[in-house]
Amino acid sequence: MVNDSAQELVSSRVEDIIRQQVGSETPLSAETDLLNDLGIDSLELVELSVKMQKEFRKKIRMAELRICVTIEDVTQLVQKSKTEEQVGSA
């Protein structure tokens, strides 16, 4: 249950960061396509990476972020980086 609420918090925060990045109040969903729906280009992707790293205090690999297609993909990447850090510190 705690894990579900943590995932919802990450998902909500990822959506907020992306909304700020594209400067839009357009409703977003997990299925929103970064390129086709939002028009995020490679420079914006780099900026998004920096913002995500600052927000979550986790290393977000650009190579992995580049293959993200949807907001859900980005959320899963953030979750993965958090999990890897927890496993590495155990």
- The whole-number pLDDT of residue 2 equals 47
Q: Tens of pLDDT along 28-66?
A: 999 999 999 999 999 999 999 999 999 999 888 899 999
| Burial call 42-70: b when 16+ CB within 10 Å, e when fewer | eeebeebbeebeeebebebeeeebeebeb
- The whole-number pLDDT of residue 84 equals 66
Taking the C-alpha atoms of residue 90 and residue 86, their distance in angstroms, rounded to an integer, is 6
Predicted TM-score (pTM) of the model is 0.85
Name, in order, each residue with C-beta under 8 angstroms of 41's C-beta and a sequence gap of 6 or more.
Answer: none
Q: Which domains does the chain have, with CATH numbers?
A: 2-76 (1.10.1200.10)
